């Protein structure tokens, strides 16, 4: 093989590898070393577990949505391919349990109506000041992009939710703060949101703290990247293409140079 061909083939395989392997640079975080879950969506071919996304949405809806919004999601996203995939009827029912402001009507008045699939998932507070006022001055951040905004997001959210403990001796806690091993600075304004059997899962799964933390972290991974499955499928196609392409290159090289020595 000539050097040139080796370089071409090497380049093609390197490109394939770069697409197939998510580059995960080691990162030192200020919080403790994160716990790691073996997520179904990990790796280049990973997919979401629909039942898990449904459970995660249930946890979000029954617990987290008291304080946190997911402002980039609409109810209809819940029935789209690649997500929890509720049926359209289920999504309609879920949406209708919330109220939204609409209007003005013919008399110029604003009015409340049940939410519809086209509406954004209803936020707990009308604005940040109201959210702060209800939470001792701390702002519960929007969670739609949280798993993208933090390094190793799914494991970060999972670790925070399962990382509460009594403050070690000698650590002075500020007023209203809770000790959490994984939050930068170890003092978090969010009270521990989950405890065993906090929700009763519609699919009958045991609602342990650990299970709920995993499920809601998976759900928030989907809200941050609703097209994750499409991206993984495309990655697979690109890798297959590159392998076939490398084979073709090699075959044509053989052919073109077959009489040269
Ligand atoms: C009672 C209100 C409340 C509930 C319920 C609640 N949170 Fe929070 N959460 C907060 C507040 C306030 C903060 C900001 C903490 C801070 O800045 O110290 C926060 C912070 C967070 C953070 C850390 C964000 C960061 O900046 O790194 C995550 C992740 C989070 N919440 C997830 C959740 C999830 C998931 C649930 C549901 C299981 C939930 N929260 C339920 C009030 C709440």
CATH code of residue 218: 1.10.760.10
Same domain, 147 and 65: yes
Closest atom of ligand 1 relative to the 60 alpha carbon = 37
Same domain, 100 and 217: no
C-alpha span between 18 and 30 (Å, rounded): 28
Name the band, by pLDDT with cuts 50, 70 and 90, for residue 17: low
Q: Which residues pair with 20 in a beta bridge?
A: none
Nearest CA to ligand 1 atom 6: 64
In a domain, 125, yes or no: no
* Tokens representing residue 173 in the block: 């806690």
Same domain, 43 and 148: yes
Same domain, 106 and 93: yes
Structural domain total, the chain = 3
Same domain, 104 and 24: no
Residues 6 or more apart in contact with residue 2 via CB below 8 angstroms? none
pLDDT at residue 16, as a whole number: 64
Same domain, 2 and 58: no
Same domain, 246 and 172: no
Per-residue pLDDT of 115-152, as tens digits, reads: 999 999 999 999 999 999 999 999 999 999 999 999 99
Per-residue pLDDT of 184-239, as tens digits, reads: 999 999 999 999 999 999 999 999 999 999 999 999 999 999 999 999 999 999 99
Give this prediction's pTM: 0.87
pLDDT at residue 21, as a whole number: 56
The answer to whether the beta carbons of residues 253 and 12 sit under 8 Å apart is no
In a domain, 41, yes or no: yes
Name the band, by pLDDT with cuts 50, 70 and 90, for residue 259: confident
Same domain, 147 and 60: yes
Domain containing 166 equals 31-72+139-226
Same domain, 177 and 256: no
Number of Cα atoms under 13 Å in the Cβ half of residue 219 = 26
In eight-state DSSP terms, residue 192 is -
Ligand 1 centroid from CA 138, angstroms = 10
In a domain, 112, yes or no: yes
Same domain, 62 and 147: yes
In a domain, 127, yes or no: no
Any atom of ligand 1 within 6 Å of the Cβ of 94: no
pLDDT at residue 51, as a whole number: 98
Any atom of ligand 1 within 6 Å of the Cβ of 82: no
Same domain, 171 and 83: no
C-alpha span between 14 and 126 (Å, rounded): 50
pLDDT at residue 2, as a whole number: 60
Identify the three-state secondary structure at position 241: helix
Q: Which residues pair with 100 in a beta bridge?
A: 113
Any atom of ligand 1 within 6 Å of the Cβ of 145: no
C-alpha span between 21 and 19 (Å, rounded): 6
Q: Which residues pair with 152 in a beta bridge?
A: none
Nearest CA to ligand 1 atom 13: 140
């Amino acid at each position: 093989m000539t050097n040139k061909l080796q370089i071409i083939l090497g380049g093609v395989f390197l490109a394939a590898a770069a697409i197939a392997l998510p580059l995960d640079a080691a990162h030192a975080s200020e919080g403790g070393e994160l716990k790691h879950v073996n997520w179904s969506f990990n790796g280049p071919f990973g997919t979401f577990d629909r039942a898990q996304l449904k459970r995660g949405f249930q946890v979000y809806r029954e617990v987290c949505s008291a304080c946190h919004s997911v402002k980039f999601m609409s109810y209809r996203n819940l029935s789209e391919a690649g997500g929890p995939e509720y049926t359209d009827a289920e999504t309609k029912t879920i949406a209708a349990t919330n109220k939204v402001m609409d209007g003005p009507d013919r008399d110029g008045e604003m009015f409340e109506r049940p939410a519809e699939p086209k509406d954004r998932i209803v936020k707990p507070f009308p604005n940040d000041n109201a959210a702060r006022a209800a939470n001792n001055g701390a702002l519960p951040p929007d969670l739609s992009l949280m798993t993208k905004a933090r390094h190793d997001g799914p494991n970060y959210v999972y670790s925070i939710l399962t990382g509460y403990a009594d403050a070690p001796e000698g650590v002075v806690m500020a007023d209203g703060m809770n000790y959490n091993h994984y939050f930068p600075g170890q003092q978090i304004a969010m009270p521990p949101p989950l405890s065993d059997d906090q929700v009763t899962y519609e699919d009958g799964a045991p609602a342990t703290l650990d299970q709920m933390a995993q499920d809601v972290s998976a759900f928030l991974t989907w809200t941050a990247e609703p097209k994750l499955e499409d991206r993984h499928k495309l990655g697979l196609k690109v890798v297959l293409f590159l392998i076939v392409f490398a084979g073709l290159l090699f075959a044509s090289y053989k052919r073109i140079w077959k009489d040269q020595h």
